[in-house]
C-alpha cells in the first residue's frame, strides 16, 4: 500500500460549493453603546469539543469556528461526521467593534458558552451542549441540529447576557468561565495594566464587577472605572497579548507587554506572581530594549509536564518563537524554564498555535502569499521547520487551446471543484453586472447560467459591427471572459486571506481559518512530498522514508531533483499538449518523446546538461526508479472493496456509520484524492520524460550499459506509462461533476437494476441542489466510505480514539485504491451506473479502454448499459457480446450471473441476464439477435435451448414476424414449450386477424395439436367475440378435409342456437349450416355424413384437472353416449329450421330469444302466430308435419281482419308482405282482408289434402267463430267433399244452408250442375253408381221436421228426395233390363 507518510502536510480547501452560507442574523442592541470608535482587524478562531476525538461521542470530529469583522461575529458549527442544520449565525453587535481574538468558547457539562469582548461591551451566549440535545449518545441520522438552532430565542439584550464597560480598552483580551460559573473577561487597558470584568453565573441574579490589575502589585477592587488621568500615562506595561489558565483553584492571567516582558497575575490573589524579560532569551538583542514591541504574541498550552508558554517576539527580519515551561516552586512562587528558541524570517505573522509538542504558524510574505509551517520544539536541534504545501491561487491566465471554445474553457475552470468558492463568483458577478440586482439563493447550475448570460450580454452590448470573422469573435470572447475571470480572482484572493490557525489537541486536526472558508491540513505522502518540496528543503534532505537503504535513498532524492528540473523545463504549451494526448488516448510514450524533442531543441538554459550531470551522480538509477514506481502504484493483491469481518459492538457500528460522512468530510477527502492524483500525474509525466532522456543518453549515464537500458525500455517505461494513464484517469474523474438526474430516469434505472438483480446497489443520495458533487464524491458518499471505514476498523477493533493524520491518510489512500483501474474491485463504475451517471461512465470506459487489462468485460458491460440508456441499442448489444468472453474471469460479471438458478454455464447465465435487461428496455430485435447467439453456446443444454427458442419465438411474434416465429416454434426441442408457443401463435394471430398466415403454415408433426388447440379455444371462449370456428373451418378446407370442415361448422351452428339468442347469432347459424351442407355436397355420397357433436358443449380439454362431485370425490367415468350419424338430409332439415328461425327473428326481433332452441313443431306455432305462413308451411313439409295448424292460424288471421278496424288492416300488410301472394293481378284495389282471403285460397289450392282436410279445418274455424263462409270456399269444398260440408253445416245448426246444399247436391246427381260437386257423370243407366250422404240428410230432415218454422224447407227437401228416389228407381230398372 503506497501510504508512506512524510512529516510535511498539504492544504486541502474542501470548501463546500454553496452559493452563500445561510447565516441567520441575530442583532444585539445594548443601550448606551456609542457609534464610532476604533476599527480592529479581522480575526478568526476555533473551538474543538473535549470529546471530539472519541468515536462514540456525539461531538466526534465536531468544532466551532468563527470570524470577526467590524461589529459582527460569524459563528459556524461544523462536523466531519454529520451535516449540522441551522449551524451558521451572524451576531451583529450594534456600535461595537469586536476585539481581535475577542471570541472565546467554553464547554461545561450542560452548556456551550460563547464569550465575546468588544471595545465597549462584553457578551455571553449560553447554548445547550450537543449531548443534552439528544437523548442518546448514539446518533444515526445523517443530519443533526446544531447548538445554534435556538440562538434566536435567547434574550441577548438582557443584563445577564451582556454589559457595557465605562471606558475604552486596548486591542487584546481573553475570557474564561470561573469554577462557580462566572464569566470573566480580561482586557488590556489602554494606559497599561489589565482590567477584569466579571458577570455572575448565567442562572443567578447579580451585577457586573470590574477589577484592575496594576504593575504596582497593589490590587484595588473598583466599583467603577478609574480615569487614566489619576493613574498617570505609564504605558510600558501596555498589554499586547493575553492568555489565561486555571490551576489549583486559581486563574493565572499571562500578559505579554509592550516592554517585552511576560507577566503572570493571580486572579485570586490579585497579585503579579511572575515577571520575565523575553529579550533575555533572544541573542543579539542590543537596541531592542529601547524599542517598544508591537506584534508580540503569546500562546499557552497544557502538556503532561505542566503549562507550556510560547512567546513570539516580532522583530523585523528575525522573528523568534520562545518556548518556556512554567515551574512551580515552594511558597506559591513560580519560574520559567527555557525549552527552545526557534527562528523565522517570514515577514508578517498572521497567527500561530501551540500544542504540547509543536508550534504551527501561518505568515503572509511580501507578495501576500500564505506560508504555513510547523515545528516540533522538543526534538528539533537543527531548527528545521516542516513544510506545509498550501494551495496556490488559481492561475492568473487560462490556457485556451486552438480547438477549444473560450466560454466553455472559462466556465470549466470557474466551476471546477478546485478553484473558486461560489461566494467569490457571486460577488464578482454582482460587480460585473454593476450591482443591478442582488443575487440570492441560486443553485450551482443557475449561477452558471447567470454568469454566462452576464458575460455574453456585456460582449454583445459592446459590439458595434454586425459581421465578424470567427477569429475576431473568438478574441472578443477571450477578452470579456478574462475580464470576468480577473474579477473572480480578486474576490477569491480576498476569500483566501488567512486569519487564523487552529489545532485540535485531541485528534491532531489542523485547520487554516480563512476569510471565506476553512481549509484542512492533511499529512503528505512521501512520494508527493518529494515532488512538492521547495528546493532548499529537497537539497538539504539526505534520507527518505520510501526506503531504509541510505544509498538508495540518496539515489531517489537525486532522481527527484532531476524530475524537478524536467518539470521546470516543460513549457505550458508542451504540458497542455501532453494533457491533450492523454485525453485523446494517444500513446503516453509517444507524447513524452515529442516533449523531449521540444526540450532538446529549446534548451537555452542548458537544463539538459544539468540533468545529465545529476544523472551521472546516481549510482543505481534502475533501483531508484523501481522504488518510486512501487510507491506510486496503488495496485493491491486483494479486492480493496472486501467487506472484511463484521465489526463487533452495535454502538461502534452505529458510530462508524456516521464517521467522515458529512458533506464537509466528503469534500475534503475527495479533494485530497484529486490533489494526490494531480501531483502524481505530473510526477509520472516527468518520470516518463526522464526515462526517455535516459534512453537518449544511453551509456553516457549508465554504468551498467545495455542490460539496464533493456530493462528500462521493456519494463520501467511501460510501467511509468501505465501509471501516468491511471493517474490521469483518476485526476479526470475526481474533477468530473455528477449530473442531476430526472426522477423518471432514476425509476427506469432502478427497474433495470432490479432486472439484473443489482438493486442492492445504492441509489442516488439526497444531494444538496446547491452543492454539486464530483462523481468521486458521489462514489465516496454512497459506496466507498462504508467500505473504507469497515476495512480500517476491522483491523483495529478496540481503538475508538480518532487520530486525524492516521485516519484521513488511510481513507484517502483506500479511496484512491478503490478508484484504481488495475485493482479487481469494480465498485466505482457500478456506482456510476446505479446513479445514472451515464455520460461520466462512458468517458471513464473510454479513458480506460486502450491500456487497462483488468475488468475488460465488466467495462464493456457498463458501456452497453450507457448505450442502452441513450437509446443506442445496437451498440449496446455489441458491448454485451464483447463482455461475454470475460464472464468466468471477472468478479462483477460473476456476481451478475451468480444469482441465476438454472444449472447452466456462466456464459449462458450471463446471456439470460442481458436478455432480460433487453426485454425490460423493450428491444425485441436485439433480444432475438442475442438469443440466436446464445443458442450456439447451449448445444448440449436442451432446457436452455428450449428457453431461448421460446424467447425468439415470442419476440418474433410480437414484432409480427409470423414466419420466423413459426420457424422458431418448430426448432424448439421441448414438446411442452412447443405446444405453449403453438397455442400462443394461434391466439395472437387470431387476435390480429392474420388468419391467412395461420392457416397456411405446414405444421409438420403438429397438425393434430393445432386442431386440438383451436378446438379447445373455440369451445372455451365467447362465440361472437372470437372466430376460432371459422379459423378451424378454413384450416380443414385448406387441407381439403371437407367432412371435418362440415363437422366444425355444424357444431358452430348448434352452439350458436343454444348460446347466442340474437338475430346475429341466428344469421351466423344459417351460414354455418349452409357451409356444412356445401362441405358434404363436395364429398362422394357414400361419405357425406358427419358425427353429431356432443350435446351441451361439454368437451374434455387436454390438461384439464379432473372434476370432483359434491362429496369431493373424483367423479366416475362419464357414461358413453350413443353416437348419432347425420346425413345430408338431416343437415338440410336443420338448415331449413334455422332459416325459419332467422326469418322469424328478422320479422319479429323479440322472438329471437326463444326461437334459437325451438323445435320444428314449436317453430311452426311461432311462425303462424307471427304471420309467416310461407316459412311455416316450408317447415311442415320438411319435417312432414300436419298443415292443419297453419291453415287454422291463417283462417284466424282472416277472421280478425274481417272484423278488425283500420289499425288491424294496417298491421296486416306487414305480415302479408312476408308471404308470397298469388300472381293474380287484380284490376281493382283490394283491402288487406281481401289479400288475406286470397292468400288463404292460394294456400288451399297449393297444398291439397286428402278428403279436403285443409278445407274442413278452415271452414270449421270460420263456423266456430260465426263467420259466414265465402262463396269461393264453399264452391271449392263442394268439389272436394260435399258430404263433409253438409256435416259441418249440421254441426253448427246451419239448417237452411244444409237444406240448400242437399237440394243442389241432388240436382247435381241428376245432371244439373254436377261439375260443381266434382261428379264426373250424373245418375244414368250407363254411368257408375252415385250416392247420397243419407245419414246426414236424415239428421237434417229430422231436425227440420222438429221445428214448425222450417216445415217449408222440410217439404222442399222431402219432395226433392222423393223425385230423386223415383229417378233412381227408373234408372235401376233400365240398368237391370240392359243386363
The reported pLDDT for the residue numbered 703 is 58
The reported pLDDT for the residue numbered 1273 is 78
The reported pLDDT for the residue numbered 810 is 93
The reported pLDDT for the residue numbered 275 is 93
H, E, C per residue of 167-230 = CCCCCCEEEEECCCCCEEEEEECCCCCEEEEEECCCCCCCCCEEEEECCCCCCEEECCCCCHHH
- Number of helical (H) and strand (E) elements in the chain, helices listed first: 48, 34
Bridge pairing between strands 121-128 and 143-145: unpaired
In the chain, which stretches have pLDDT less than 50? 1-2, 217-233, 640-642, 761-770, 1096-1103, 1224-1225, 1227
Closest of 213, 311, 303, 304 to residue 260, by C-alpha: 311
The reported pLDDT for the residue numbered 337 is 93
Question: 1152-1180: per-residue pLDDT in tens?
Answer: 778 777 888 888 888 888 778 788 888 88
Sheet containing 250-257: which strands, arranged edge to edge? 239-247, 250-257, 261-266, 271-277
The reported pLDDT for the residue numbered 718 is 95
What does the DSSP 8-state code read for residue 514?
E
H, E, C per residue of 1254-1265 = HHHHHHHHHHHC
- Cα separations (Å) of 691 from 570, 694, 1017, 1052? 15, 5, 80, 91
Give Cβ neighbours of residue 227 (< 8 Å, ≥ 6 apart): none
CA distance 1141 to 1138: 5
3-state DSSP assignment of residue 1123: coil
Torsion of CA 1042, 1044, 1048, 1051, to 10 degrees: 110
CA distance 330 to 318: 37
- Cα separations (Å) of 1229 from 1211, 1225, 1235? 18, 10, 10
Block residue for cell numbers 509517444: 590
Q: What is the largest CA-CA distance in the chain?
A: 204
Give the DSSP letter string of 1178-1241: HHHHHTT--SHHHHHHHHHHHHHHHH--HHHHHHHHHHHHTS---SPPPSS---HHHHHHHHHH
Give Cβ neighbours of residue 760 (< 8 Å, ≥ 6 apart): none
Torsion of CA 1185, 1186, 1190, 1192, to 10 degrees: -160
Q: From the CB of residue 443, how many other CB atoms can be counted at a distance below 10 Å? A: 17
CA distance 716 to 760: 41
- Contact (Cβ atoms closer than 8 angstroms) between residue 82 and residue 142: yes
The pair phi, psi for residue 188, each rounded to 5°, is -70, 135
Query: Helix H segments across 835-961?
Result: 838-848, 856-869, 873-883, 891-897, 906-921, 924-937, 942-959
The reported pLDDT for the residue numbered 244 is 96
Amino acid at each position: 500500500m503506497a501510504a508512506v507518510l512524510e512529516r510535511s502536510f498539504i492544504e486541502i480547501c474542501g470548501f463546500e460549493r454553496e452559493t452563500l452560507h445561510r447565516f441567520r442574523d441575530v442583532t444585539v442592541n445594548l443601550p448606551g453603546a456609542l457609534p464610532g470608535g476604533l476599527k480592529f482587524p479581522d480575526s478568526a478562531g476555533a473551538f474543538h469539543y473535549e470529546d471530539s476525538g472519541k468515536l462514540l461521542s456525539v461531538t466526534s470530529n465536531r468544532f466551532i469556528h468563527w470570524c470577526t469583522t467590524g461589529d459582527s461575529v460569524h459563528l459556524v458549527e461544523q462536523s466531519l461526521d454529520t451535516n449540522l442544520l441551522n449551524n451558521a449565525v451572524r451576531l451583529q453587535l450594534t456600535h461595537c467593534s469586536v476585539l481581535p481574538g475577542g471570541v472565546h468558547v467554553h464547554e461545561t457539562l450542560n452548556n456551550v458558552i460563547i464569550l465575546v469582548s468588544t471595545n465597549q461591551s462584553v457578551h455571553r451566549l449560553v447554548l445547550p451542549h450537543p449531548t443534552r440535545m439528544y437523548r442518546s449518545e448514539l446518533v444515526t441520522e445523517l443530519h443533526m441540529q446544531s447548538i445554534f438552532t435556538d440562538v434566536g430565542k435567547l434574550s441577548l439584550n438582557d443584563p445577564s447576557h451582556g454589559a457595557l464597560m465605562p471606558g475604552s480598552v486596548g486591542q487584546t483580551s481573553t475570557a474564561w468561565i470561573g469554577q462557580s460559573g462566572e464569566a470573566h473577561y480580561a482586557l488590556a487597558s489602554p494606559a497599561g495594566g489589565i482590567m477584569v470584568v466579571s458577570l455572575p453565573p448565567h442562572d443567578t441574579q447579580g451585577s457586573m464587577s470590574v477589577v484592575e490589575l496594576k504593575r504596582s502589585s497593589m490590587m484595588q477592587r473598583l466599583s467603577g472605572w478609574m480615569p487614566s488621568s489619576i493613574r498617570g500615562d505609564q504605558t510600558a506595561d501596555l498589554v499586547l497579548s493575553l492568555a489565561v489558565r486555571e490551576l489549583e483553584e486559581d486563574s493565572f492571567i499571562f500578559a505579554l507587554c509592550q516592554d517585552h516582558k511576560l507577566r503572570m497575575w493571580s486572579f485570586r490573589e490579585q497579585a503579579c506572581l511572575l515577571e520575565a524579560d523575553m529579550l533575555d532569551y533572544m541573542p543579539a538583542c542590543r537596541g531592542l530594549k529601547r524599542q517598544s514591541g508591537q506584534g508580540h504574541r503569546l500562546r499557552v498550552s497544557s502538556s503532561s509536564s505542566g503549562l507550556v508558554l510560547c512567546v513570539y517576539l516580532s522583530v523585523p527580519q528575525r522573528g523568534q518563537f520562545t518556548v518556556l515551561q512554567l515551574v512551580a516552586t515552594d511558597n506559591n512562587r513560580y519560574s520559567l524554564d527555557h525549552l527552545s528558541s526557534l527562528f523565522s524570517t517570514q515577514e508578517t505573522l498572521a497567527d500561530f498555535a501551540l500544542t504540547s509538542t509543536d508550534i504551527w504558524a501561518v505568515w503572509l510574505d511580501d507578495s501576500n502569499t500564505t506560508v504555513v509551517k510547523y515545528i516540533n520544539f522538543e526534538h528539533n536541534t537543527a531548527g528545521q521547520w516542516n513544510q506545509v504545501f498550501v494551495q496556490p491561487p488559481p492561475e492568473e491566465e487560462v490556457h485556451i487551446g486552438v480547438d477549444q471554445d473560450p466560454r466553455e474553457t472559462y466556465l470549466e475552470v470557474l466551476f471546477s471543484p478546485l478553484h473558486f468558492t461560489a461566494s467569490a463568483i457571486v460577488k464578482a458577478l454582482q460587480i460585473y453586472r454593476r450591482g443591478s440586482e442582488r443575487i440570492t439563493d441560486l443553485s450551482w447550475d443557475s449561477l452558471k447560467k447567470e454568469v454566462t448570460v452576464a458575460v455574453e450580454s456585456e460582449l454583445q452590448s459592446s459590439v458595434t459591427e454586425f459581421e465578424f470573422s470567427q477569429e475576431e469573435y473568438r478574441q472578443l470572447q477571450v477578452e470579456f471572459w478574462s475580464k470576468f475571470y480577473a474579477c473572480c480572482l480578486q474576490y477569491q484572493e480576498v476569500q483566501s486571506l488567512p486569519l487564523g490557525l487552529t489545532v485540535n489537541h485531541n485528534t491532531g486536526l489542523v485547520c487554516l481559518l480563512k476569510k471565506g472558508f476553512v481549509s484542512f491540513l492533511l499529512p503528505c505522502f512521501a512520494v508527493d512530498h518529494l515532488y512538492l518540496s521547495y528546493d532548499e528543503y529537497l537539497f538539504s534532505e539526505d534520507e527518505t522514508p520510501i526506503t531504509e537503504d541510505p544509498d538508495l535513498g540518496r539515489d531517489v532524492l537525486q532522481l527527484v531533483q532531476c524530475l524537478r528540473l524536467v518539470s521546470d523545463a516543460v513549457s505550458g504549451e508542451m504540458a497542455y499538449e501532453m494533457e491533450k494526448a492523454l485525453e485523446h488516448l494517444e500513446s503516453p510514450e509517444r507524447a513524452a518523446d515529442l516533449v523531449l524533442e521540444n526540450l532538446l531543441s529549446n534548451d537555452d538554459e542548458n537544463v539538459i546538461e544539468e540533468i545529465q550531470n545529476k544523472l551521472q551522480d546516481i549510482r543505481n538509477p534502475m533501483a531508484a526508479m523501481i522504488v518510486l514506481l512501487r510507491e506510486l502504484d496503488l495496485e493491491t493483491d486483494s479486492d480493496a472493496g472486501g467487506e472484511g469481518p463484521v465489526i463487533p459492538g452495535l454502538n461502534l457500528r452505529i458510530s462508524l456509520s456516521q464517521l467522515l460522512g458529512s458533506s464537509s468530510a466528503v469534500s475534503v477527502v475527495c479533494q485530497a484524492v484529486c490533489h494526490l492524483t494531480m501531483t502524481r500525474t505530473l510526477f509520472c509525466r516527468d518520470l516518463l520524460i526522464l526515462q526517455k532522456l535516459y534512453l537518449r543518453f544511453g551509456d553516457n549515464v549508465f554504468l551498467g550499459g545495455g542490460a539496464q537500458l533493456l530493462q528500462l525500455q521493456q519494463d520501467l517505461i511501460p510501467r511509468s506509462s501505465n501509471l501516468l494513464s491511471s493517474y490521469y484517469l483518476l485526476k479526470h474523474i475526481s474533477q468530473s461533476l455528477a449530473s442531476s438526474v430526472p426522477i423518471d430516469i432514476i425509476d427506469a434505472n432502478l427497474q433495470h437494476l432490479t432486472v439484473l438483480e443489482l438493486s442492492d446497489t445504492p441509489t442516488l443520495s439526497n444531494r444538496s441542489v446547491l452543492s454539486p458533487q464530483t462523481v468521486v464524491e458521489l462514489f465516496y458518499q454512497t459506496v466507498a466510505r462504508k467500505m473504507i471505514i469497515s476495512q480500517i476498523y476491522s483491523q483495529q477493533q478496540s481503538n475508538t480514539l480518532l487520530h486525524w493524520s492516521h485516519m484521513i491518510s488511510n481513507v484517502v489512500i483506500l479511496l484512491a485504491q478503490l478508484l484504481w483501474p488495475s485493482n479487481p474491485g469494480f465498485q466505482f463504475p457500478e456506482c456510476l451506473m446505479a446513479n445514472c451517471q451515464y455520460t461520466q461512465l462512458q468517458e471513464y470506459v473510454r479513458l480506460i479502454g486502450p491500456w487497462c487489462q483488468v475488468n475488460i468485460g465488466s467495462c464493456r458491460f457498463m458501456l452497453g448499459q450507457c448505450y442502452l440508456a441513450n437509446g443506442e441499442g445496437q451498440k449496446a448489444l455489441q458491448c454485451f457480446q464483447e463482455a461475454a468472453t470475460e464472464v468466468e474471469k471477472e468478479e462483477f460479471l460473476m456476481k451478475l450471473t451468480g444469482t441465476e438458478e438454472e444449472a447452466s454455464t456462466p456464459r449462458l447465465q450471463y446471456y439470460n441476464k442481458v436478455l432480460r435487461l433487453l426485454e425490460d428496455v423493450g428491444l425485441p430485435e436485439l433480444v432475438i439477435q442475442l438469443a440466436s447467439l446464445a443458442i450456439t453456446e447451449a448445444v448440449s443444454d436442451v432446457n436452455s435451448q428450449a428457453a431461448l427458442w421460446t424467447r425468439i419465438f415470442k419476440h418474433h411474434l410480437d414484432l409480427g414476424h409470423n414466419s420466423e416465429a413459426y420457424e422458431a416454434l418448430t426448432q424448439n426441442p421441448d414438446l411442452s414449450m412447443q405446444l405453449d408457443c403453438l397455442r400462443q401463435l394461434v391466439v395472437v394471430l387470431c387476435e390480429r386477424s392474420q388468419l391467412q398466415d395461420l392457416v397456411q403454415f405446414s405444421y409438420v408433426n403438429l397438425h393434430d395439436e393445432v386442431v386440438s388447440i383451436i378446438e379447445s379455444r373455440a369451445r372455451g371462449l365467447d362465440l361472437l367475440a372470437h372466430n376460432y370456428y371459422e379459423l378451424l373451418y378454413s384450416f380443414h378446407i385448406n387441407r381439403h378435409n371437407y367432412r371435418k370442415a362440415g363437422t366444425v361448422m355444424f357444431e358452430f351452428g348448434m352452439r350458436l342456437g343454444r348460446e347466442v339468442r340474437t338475430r346475429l347469432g341466428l344469421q351466423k347459424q344459417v351460414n354455418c349450416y349452409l357451409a356444412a351442407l356445401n362441405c358434404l355436397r363436395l364429398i362422394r355420397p357414400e361419405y357425406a355424413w358427419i358425427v353429431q357433436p356432443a350435446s351441451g358443449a361439454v368437451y374434455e380439454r387436454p390438461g384439464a384437472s379432473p372434476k370432483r362431485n359434491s362429496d369431493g370425490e373424483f367423479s366416475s367415468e362419464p357414461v358413453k353416449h350413443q353416437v348419432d350419424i347425420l346425413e345430408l338430409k338431416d343437415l338440410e332439415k336443420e338448415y331449413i329450421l334455422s332459416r325459419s328461425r332467422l326469418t322469424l327473428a328478422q320479422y319479429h326481433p323479440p322472438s329471437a330469444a326463444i326461437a334459437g332452441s325451438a323445435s320444428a313443431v314449436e317453430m311452426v306455432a311461432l311462425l303462424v302466430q307471427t304471420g309467416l305462413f310461407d316459412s311455416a308451411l316450408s317447415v311442415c313439409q320438411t319435417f312432414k308435419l300436419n298443415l292443419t295448424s297453419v291453415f287454422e292460424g291463417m283462417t284466424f288471421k282472416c277472421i280478425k281482419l274481417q272484423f278488425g278496424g283500420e289499425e288491424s288492416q294496417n298491421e296486416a300488410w306487414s305480415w302479408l308482405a312476408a308471404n308470397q301472394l298469388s300472381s293474380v293481378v287484380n284490376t281493382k284495389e283490394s283491402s288487406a282482408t281481401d289479400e288475406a282471403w286470397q292468400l288463404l285460397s292460394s294456400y288451399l289450392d297449393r297444398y291439397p289434402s286428402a278428403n279436403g282436410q285443409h278445407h274442413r279445418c278452415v271452414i270449421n274455424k270460420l263456423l266456430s267463430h260465426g263467420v259466414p263462409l265465402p262463396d269461393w270456399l264453399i264452391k271449392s269444398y263442394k268439389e272436394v267433399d260435399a258430404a263433409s260440408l253438409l256435416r259441418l253445416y249440421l254441426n253448427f245448426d246451419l239448417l237452411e244452408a244444409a237444406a240448400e246444399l242437399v237440394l243442389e247436391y241432388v240436382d247435381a246427381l241428376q245432371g244439373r250442375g254436377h261439375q260443381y260437386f266434382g261428379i264426373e257423370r250424373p245418375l244414368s243407366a250407363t254411368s257408375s253408381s252415385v250416392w247420397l250422404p243419407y245419414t246426414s240428410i236424415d239428421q237434417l230432415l229430422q231436425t227440420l221436421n222438429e221445428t214448425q218454422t222450417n216445415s217449408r224447407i222440410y217439404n222442399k227437401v222431402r219432395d226433392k228426395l222423393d223425385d230423386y228416389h223415383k229417378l233412381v228407381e227408373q234408372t235401376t230398372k233400365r240398368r237391370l233390363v240392359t243386363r
